[in-house]
Structure 1
């Protein structure tokens, strides 16, 4: 609407001014040295418009020539960039297909004139690592490190590959060499958690546990289980009796009720030949109604000469319990006191409740010990049953 109004005003102005210009043409006189030019106002205006149009045309031609020359000059560079994009795409597809050899070659070629050579070198290093070529992976990471803002990505990739290769000491050194800001990143925290687990450095895991929970790197279940895992791992890692007992004594009462921690501590006591303390703790930890299978499995390992009395204690406590794991425990305790027939009887009871290949193998050994060769052969045949676990 506004444009239409403007056009209307221009037409009206032309209709008004045009006749005036025709009646009063006027003149323009231009004198340069000995030369003079005289013309009408209308002709001079037309010549000015024509001159302006010619200048515009000349400018357009010059720009066109310059662009054409520049395009021709940059043509080889454009070809290289196009080739790099093609190789990068090929490498990305090869990575998706896990064709590591092709991915490494394509990504390396695509880095030459590529738009993001840092990404190409990192991807090529990943492909080289998957092929087990550590030297080539390190060389590609070194090339990636030459670019700006590459420290974090290269360092994290290098630590991850060393952990996967089992070079834990080297990975730990690289991890500790990172700046504090990098070590606090979620990706690095996750790598640190994995590395500390493999090194059994549970105190180090305890130090980063708050950050792991804060950044939600663990599920709710894993976060709740983490303190137990830390203490369990620390107990298992003890190399002497005194530090084992000190670690256990320092635990809160709530944690001492956890079956997993009791198992770790009892295993340590058995390892350091403290069967009496181990047996006492196990008996206290056993549930009054339904005994825990993992605790029952440890009882024979710390029974020594108390095996027969232990059976009597368990019978009184679980007089009405029919449980295959409990019967396994009875069988193992009887075996330790060389009561093989009694052990066979308990082992058969366990098999009647829950037949497994392991229980049949235990029964077969007892039958061989008693000279029951045919019975042992029959038990061994059950080991071939695919329906048994």
Structure 2
């Protein structure tokens, strides 16, 4: 700064003092191509000295810039990076708020695709997708995939998500499978679940149920529902009792105490004629606990298994029947008694069941038994009551809900 001030002083002195001292000092003539510059000796000397000072000043300034401390350079770079980061943060906020066009514009303003960070590339790709710029989406994802292994995995997940959004479930699963299990988080498993649900592929869902519950994507009750759907599908496609045995061997321990599931196995064993296996299952279930769901299943068996009937009668004779179990137990015993030819016992149990709750199916069963016993007037009355209950239920179903 001092050198600059000296240079200005000398220049001013040359301009103002030079002409006044010209008569005593003489003149200096500088000839150029076609031009002659005339100045006083004092002005020429001062300008010469000033030029030297200016040259020294410029040299010193350049030297200081070149030898600037690294910390200062980093400070300038850090300031530039912070400015870029603030724009990227703003773009992320816009993306999360659904302002995809603004998000993409901000990211484009910060840098080109080649210079964007991996995270910015993924956000830019998704933003471009949601506003219909599919070519830009591909370019951004391709650029991200070329960066690193983690970026490639992230790009595959984004591709899977975007393909799922437009209905390409098969393609979405292909990209998820390309991750090869390297990425295991809530987002991945949620995407797998959504894809499998679209395909009604409950077998695949059953394979990841533990992870779905672990990441709190679904609760245990929903997991049981999905597993039951898978079992129903497999059991419906079973062609022999061997297929049922195979499914049971693969059944996780946590489901081996589920009476609804085991009741279904028993029913399928009966349908394939494996009565002994069905009897073993049934007695094992009844030994642990008399579940209303399993009793409802027994109430619809097409054959009688004497050992099961004996077990039910023993349970009923202990006088520990609760209100919840009473009705299903009576129906189950009555059905087995009817299938065994014990018509009077079956009729008595069905009548006791009706004293608890009116049921159209019970009236129909009683009608069949009374017809077999040739008690036609009573049978007709039972059929009439069954028809009345069924008609009433249909009316209730067809009547629209009234708003109060």
TM-score (norm: length of structure 1): 0.50
TM-score by length of 2: 0.48
